[in-house]
Amino acid sequence: MGSFERYLLSERGLVAGTVVGYVAAASWFVTGLGSGALGDVGAAEVTAAVLSRSGMVSVSGTQNFVSGLKAFLRFCFVEGHLEVDLSEAALPVTGRRHTSLPLGIPAGDAAALLGSCDRRTGLGRRDYALLIVMLRLGLRRSEVAGLRLDDIDWRSGVLVVAGKGDRRDRLPLPADVGDAIAGYLTRGRPVTVHREVFIRAKAPFEPIADGTVASTVRRACRRAGVAEVGSHRLRHTMACDMVTALVPLAEIAQVLRHDSLQSTAIYARVDVETLRLLAQPWPEGGAR
Protein backbone atom coordinates (compact mmCIF):
# COMPACT_ATOMS: atom_id res chain seq x y z
CA MET A 1 0.00 0.00 0.00
CA GLY A 2 3.02 2.25 0.27
CA SER A 3 3.15 2.98 -3.46
CA PHE A 4 -0.59 3.71 -3.53
CA GLU A 5 -0.18 6.13 -0.63
CA ARG A 6 2.69 7.92 -2.40
CA TYR A 7 0.59 8.13 -5.56
CA LEU A 8 -2.28 9.77 -3.68
CA LEU A 9 0.02 12.29 -2.03
CA SER A 10 2.27 13.19 -4.97
CA GLU A 11 0.16 12.56 -8.09
CA ARG A 12 -3.33 13.31 -6.77
CA GLY A 13 -2.27 15.94 -4.23
CA LEU A 14 -4.80 14.74 -1.65
CA VAL A 15 -4.68 15.85 1.97
CA ALA A 16 -3.38 13.43 4.59
CA GLY A 17 -6.80 12.66 6.10
CA THR A 18 -8.26 11.67 2.73
CA VAL A 19 -5.21 9.54 1.93
CA VAL A 20 -5.61 7.61 5.19
CA GLY A 21 -9.24 6.86 4.32
CA TYR A 22 -8.43 5.78 0.75
CA VAL A 23 -5.60 3.49 1.87
CA ALA A 24 -7.89 1.94 4.50
CA ALA A 25 -10.54 1.27 1.82
CA ALA A 26 -7.96 -0.34 -0.46
CA SER A 27 -6.59 -2.48 2.37
CA TRP A 28 -10.10 -3.66 3.29
CA PHE A 29 -10.78 -4.58 -0.33
CA VAL A 30 -7.51 -6.50 -0.79
CA THR A 31 -7.96 -8.33 2.51
CA GLY A 32 -11.43 -9.40 1.40
CA LEU A 33 -9.97 -11.08 -1.67
CA GLY A 34 -8.40 -13.68 0.58
CA SER A 35 -6.02 -15.90 -1.35
CA GLY A 36 -7.20 -14.56 -4.69
CA ALA A 37 -4.74 -12.63 -6.83
CA LEU A 38 -5.40 -8.96 -7.50
CA GLY A 39 -4.83 -9.53 -11.21
CA ASP A 40 -7.77 -11.93 -11.34
CA VAL A 41 -10.26 -9.43 -9.92
CA GLY A 42 -13.28 -8.64 -12.04
CA ALA A 43 -16.31 -6.35 -11.88
CA ALA A 44 -18.23 -8.92 -9.85
CA GLU A 45 -15.71 -8.78 -7.00
CA VAL A 46 -15.78 -5.00 -7.00
CA THR A 47 -19.57 -4.88 -6.87
CA ALA A 48 -19.65 -7.50 -4.13
CA ALA A 49 -17.17 -5.49 -2.06
CA VAL A 50 -19.29 -2.35 -2.31
CA LEU A 51 -22.46 -4.24 -1.35
CA SER A 52 -20.70 -5.89 1.58
CA ARG A 53 -19.29 -2.61 2.84
CA SER A 54 -22.64 -0.84 2.51
CA GLY A 55 -24.13 -3.29 4.99
CA MET A 56 -21.53 -2.34 7.61
CA VAL A 57 -21.36 1.44 7.48
CA SER A 58 -23.58 4.47 6.84
CA VAL A 59 -24.38 5.91 3.42
CA SER A 60 -21.65 8.53 3.77
CA GLY A 61 -19.22 5.84 4.95
CA THR A 62 -20.04 3.74 1.89
CA GLN A 63 -19.59 6.75 -0.37
CA ASN A 64 -16.15 7.37 1.13
CA PHE A 65 -15.28 3.70 0.65
CA VAL A 66 -16.33 3.80 -3.01
CA SER A 67 -14.19 6.91 -3.59
CA GLY A 68 -11.17 5.18 -2.09
CA LEU A 69 -11.82 1.95 -3.97
CA LYS A 70 -12.20 3.75 -7.31
CA ALA A 71 -8.90 5.55 -6.74
CA PHE A 72 -7.18 2.26 -5.87
CA LEU A 73 -8.55 0.40 -8.91
CA ARG A 74 -7.52 3.26 -11.20
CA PHE A 75 -4.04 3.20 -9.64
CA CYS A 76 -3.79 -0.57 -10.17
CA PHE A 77 -4.70 -0.17 -13.85
CA VAL A 78 -2.19 2.62 -14.41
CA GLU A 79 0.54 0.61 -12.68
CA GLY A 80 -0.25 -2.51 -14.71
CA HIS A 81 -1.58 -4.60 -11.84
CA LEU A 82 -4.94 -4.85 -13.63
CA GLU A 83 -5.45 -5.33 -17.35
CA VAL A 84 -8.80 -3.49 -17.28
CA ASP A 85 -9.74 -0.26 -15.51
CA LEU A 86 -12.35 -1.50 -13.03
CA SER A 87 -12.84 1.82 -11.28
CA GLU A 88 -16.20 2.33 -13.01
CA ALA A 89 -17.41 -0.99 -11.57
CA ALA A 90 -17.47 0.67 -8.15
CA LEU A 91 -20.86 2.25 -8.69
CA PRO A 92 -21.67 5.46 -6.80
CA VAL A 93 -23.91 5.15 -3.77
CA THR A 94 -26.78 7.55 -3.31
CA GLY A 95 -28.93 8.19 -0.31
CA ARG A 96 -30.88 10.90 1.37
CA ARG A 97 -28.68 13.07 3.50
CA HIS A 98 -30.19 15.63 5.82
CA THR A 99 -28.57 19.01 5.46
CA SER A 100 -29.55 21.69 7.89
CA LEU A 101 -30.17 25.22 6.76
CA PRO A 102 -26.93 27.20 7.05
CA LEU A 103 -27.33 29.86 9.71
CA GLY A 104 -25.40 33.04 10.21
CA ILE A 105 -25.74 35.39 13.15
CA PRO A 106 -27.74 38.63 13.15
CA ALA A 107 -25.93 41.84 12.28
CA GLY A 108 -26.52 43.12 15.80
CA ASP A 109 -24.84 40.06 17.30
CA ALA A 110 -21.88 40.40 14.94
CA ALA A 111 -21.44 44.02 15.99
CA ALA A 112 -21.72 42.99 19.64
CA LEU A 113 -18.97 40.39 19.23
CA LEU A 114 -16.61 42.97 17.77
CA GLY A 115 -17.61 45.54 20.36
CA SER A 116 -16.87 43.13 23.19
CA CYS A 117 -13.13 43.18 22.42
CA ASP A 118 -11.15 45.58 24.60
CA ARG A 119 -8.92 47.10 21.94
CA ARG A 120 -6.88 48.92 24.58
CA THR A 121 -5.12 45.60 25.23
CA GLY A 122 -3.02 43.36 23.02
CA LEU A 123 -5.35 40.41 23.54
CA GLY A 124 -8.36 42.56 22.69
CA ARG A 125 -6.73 43.74 19.46
CA ARG A 126 -5.91 40.15 18.54
CA ASP A 127 -9.45 38.94 19.23
CA TYR A 128 -10.95 41.84 17.29
CA ALA A 129 -8.72 41.18 14.26
CA LEU A 130 -9.43 37.45 14.39
CA LEU A 131 -13.19 37.94 14.57
CA ILE A 132 -13.40 40.51 11.81
CA VAL A 133 -11.29 38.33 9.53
CA MET A 134 -13.82 35.54 9.96
CA LEU A 135 -16.88 37.74 9.65
CA ARG A 136 -15.71 39.68 6.60
CA LEU A 137 -13.73 37.02 4.71
CA GLY A 138 -15.36 33.77 5.83
CA LEU A 139 -12.11 32.01 6.69
CA ARG A 140 -12.15 28.61 8.32
CA ARG A 141 -10.61 28.44 11.77
CA SER A 142 -7.62 26.44 10.45
CA GLU A 143 -7.06 29.12 7.81
CA VAL A 144 -7.12 31.86 10.46
CA ALA A 145 -4.63 30.00 12.64
CA GLY A 146 -2.37 29.34 9.64
CA LEU A 147 -2.42 32.89 8.27
CA ARG A 148 1.15 34.16 7.89
CA LEU A 149 2.67 37.62 7.63
CA ASP A 150 3.89 36.77 4.13
CA ASP A 151 0.31 36.08 3.06
CA ILE A 152 -0.60 39.76 3.29
CA ASP A 153 0.20 42.01 0.34
CA TRP A 154 -0.36 45.43 1.85
CA ARG A 155 0.41 47.36 -1.35
CA SER A 156 -2.06 45.42 -3.46
CA GLY A 157 -4.62 44.97 -0.69
CA VAL A 158 -4.67 41.20 -1.11
CA LEU A 159 -4.74 38.34 1.37
CA VAL A 160 -3.49 34.89 0.32
CA VAL A 161 -5.32 32.05 2.04
CA ALA A 162 -3.80 28.57 2.31
CA GLY A 163 -6.86 26.35 2.17
CA LYS A 164 -7.55 22.63 1.86
CA GLY A 165 -4.86 20.58 0.17
CA ASP A 166 -2.34 22.79 -1.62
CA ARG A 167 -4.85 25.49 -2.54
CA ARG A 168 -3.77 29.10 -2.23
CA ASP A 169 -6.45 31.66 -2.99
CA ARG A 170 -6.15 35.43 -3.25
CA LEU A 171 -8.86 37.47 -1.54
CA PRO A 172 -9.29 41.24 -1.48
CA LEU A 173 -8.32 42.74 1.87
CA PRO A 174 -11.11 45.09 3.03
CA ALA A 175 -9.93 48.31 4.66
CA ASP A 176 -11.49 47.54 8.04
CA VAL A 177 -9.91 44.09 8.12
CA GLY A 178 -6.53 45.51 7.14
CA ASP A 179 -6.78 48.20 9.83
CA ALA A 180 -7.63 45.60 12.47
CA ILE A 181 -4.72 43.36 11.53
CA ALA A 182 -2.32 46.30 11.35
CA GLY A 183 -3.47 47.52 14.76
CA TYR A 184 -2.76 44.12 16.26
CA LEU A 185 0.62 43.75 14.54
CA THR A 186 1.87 47.16 15.64
CA ARG A 187 0.33 47.41 19.11
CA GLY A 188 -0.56 43.94 20.32
CA ARG A 189 1.39 41.10 18.77
CA PRO A 190 4.18 39.76 21.00
CA VAL A 191 7.75 39.75 19.73
CA THR A 192 8.39 36.30 18.27
CA VAL A 193 10.36 34.53 15.55
CA HIS A 194 7.19 32.93 14.20
CA ARG A 195 5.70 34.24 10.95
CA GLU A 196 2.07 33.39 11.73
CA VAL A 197 -0.09 36.47 12.21
CA PHE A 198 -1.95 35.38 15.33
CA ILE A 199 0.23 34.55 18.34
CA ARG A 200 -0.56 33.31 21.84
CA ALA A 201 -1.09 36.20 24.28
CA LYS A 202 1.03 34.51 26.96
CA ALA A 203 4.46 32.88 26.80
CA PRO A 204 5.53 30.80 25.06
CA PHE A 205 4.70 33.15 22.19
CA GLU A 206 3.82 30.58 19.58
CA PRO A 207 1.16 30.51 16.83
CA ILE A 208 -2.36 29.93 18.06
CA ALA A 209 -4.02 26.57 17.43
CA ASP A 210 -7.30 25.94 15.62
CA GLY A 211 -8.96 25.40 18.98
CA THR A 212 -7.92 28.87 20.12
CA VAL A 213 -9.87 30.37 17.23
CA ALA A 214 -12.99 28.47 18.33
CA SER A 215 -12.56 29.40 22.00
CA THR A 216 -12.02 33.06 21.06
CA VAL A 217 -15.43 33.09 19.34
CA ARG A 218 -17.11 31.47 22.34
CA ARG A 219 -15.51 33.91 24.80
CA ALA A 220 -16.62 36.84 22.67
CA CYS A 221 -20.18 35.49 22.69
CA ARG A 222 -20.18 35.32 26.48
CA ARG A 223 -18.75 38.83 26.80
CA ALA A 224 -21.29 40.22 24.36
CA GLY A 225 -24.18 38.44 26.05
CA VAL A 226 -25.33 36.71 22.84
CA ALA A 227 -26.08 33.07 22.12
CA GLU A 228 -22.88 31.05 22.02
CA VAL A 229 -21.97 29.85 18.52
CA GLY A 230 -19.14 27.96 16.88
CA SER A 231 -16.53 29.62 14.70
CA HIS A 232 -18.07 28.17 11.52
CA ARG A 233 -21.20 30.23 12.11
CA LEU A 234 -19.15 33.35 11.37
CA ARG A 235 -18.25 31.84 7.99
CA HIS A 236 -21.94 31.15 7.39
CA THR A 237 -22.71 34.75 8.35
CA MET A 238 -20.55 36.16 5.58
CA ALA A 239 -22.06 33.77 3.02
CA CYS A 240 -25.64 34.51 4.13
CA ASP A 241 -24.99 38.25 3.90
CA MET A 242 -23.80 37.78 0.32
CA VAL A 243 -26.95 35.82 -0.54
CA THR A 244 -29.09 38.61 0.90
CA ALA A 245 -27.14 41.11 -1.21
CA LEU A 246 -28.08 39.00 -4.30
CA VAL A 247 -24.46 38.04 -5.03
CA PRO A 248 -24.43 35.16 -7.57
CA LEU A 249 -23.63 31.72 -6.17
CA ALA A 250 -20.59 31.42 -8.44
CA GLU A 251 -19.04 34.48 -6.79
CA ILE A 252 -19.93 33.22 -3.30
CA ALA A 253 -18.21 29.94 -4.17
CA GLN A 254 -15.07 31.85 -5.12
CA VAL A 255 -15.00 33.74 -1.82
CA LEU A 256 -15.70 30.59 0.22
CA ARG A 257 -13.11 28.72 -1.88
CA HIS A 258 -15.41 25.78 -2.51
CA ASP A 259 -14.25 23.13 -4.98
CA SER A 260 -17.68 22.94 -6.57
CA LEU A 261 -20.93 24.88 -6.75
CA GLN A 262 -22.66 21.92 -5.09
CA SER A 263 -21.06 22.90 -1.79
CA THR A 264 -22.30 26.46 -2.19
CA ALA A 265 -25.79 25.52 -3.32
CA ILE A 266 -27.01 25.06 0.26
CA TYR A 267 -26.90 28.83 0.64
CA ALA A 268 -29.55 29.17 -2.07
CA ARG A 269 -32.02 27.99 0.59
CA VAL A 270 -31.17 30.82 2.95
CA ASP A 271 -33.24 33.57 1.34
CA VAL A 272 -36.65 32.08 2.14
CA GLU A 273 -38.59 35.15 1.06
CA THR A 274 -37.06 35.03 -2.42
CA LEU A 275 -37.76 31.31 -2.65
CA ARG A 276 -41.42 31.96 -1.82
CA LEU A 277 -41.67 34.17 -4.90
CA LEU A 278 -40.76 31.15 -7.01
CA ALA A 279 -43.50 28.95 -5.55
CA GLN A 280 -46.60 28.50 -7.71
CA PRO A 281 -49.99 29.17 -6.03
CA TRP A 282 -51.92 26.05 -5.04
CA PRO A 283 -54.80 25.37 -7.46
CA GLU A 284 -58.14 26.35 -5.92
CA GLY A 285 -60.16 23.35 -4.85
CA GLY A 286 -57.16 21.03 -5.18
CA ALA A 287 -56.24 18.49 -2.53
CA ARG A 288 -53.91 19.79 0.18
With CA atoms as reference, report the closest residue to 117 among 191, 190, 222, 237. 222
- Cβ neighbourhood burial of 5 (10 Å; 0-12, 13-18, 19+): middle
**Contact between residue 32 and residue 74 where contact means Cβ atoms under 8 Å apart:** no
**Contact between residue 129 and residue 199 where contact means Cβ atoms under 8 Å apart:** no
Catalytic residue (choose from 141, 236, 257, 258): 258
Catalytic residue (choose from 70, 119, 235, 236): 235
258 part of the active site: yes
Catalytic residue (choose from 126, 136, 140, 189): 140
Give dist(CA 181, CA 218) in Å, integer. 20
267 part of the active site: yes
**Contact between residue 282 and residue 288 where contact means Cβ atoms under 8 Å apart:** yes
Q: Which residues contact 173 (CB under 8 A, 6 or more apart)?
A: 152, 153, 154, 157, 158, 159
- Cβ neighbourhood burial of 142 (10 Å; 0-12, 13-18, 19+): middle
Catalytic residue (choose from 164, 194, 219, 223): 164
232 part of the active site: yes
Residue 263, amino acid: S
Catalytic residue (choose from 7, 22, 184, 267): 267
| Catalytic residue ranges | 140, 164, 232, 235, 258, 267
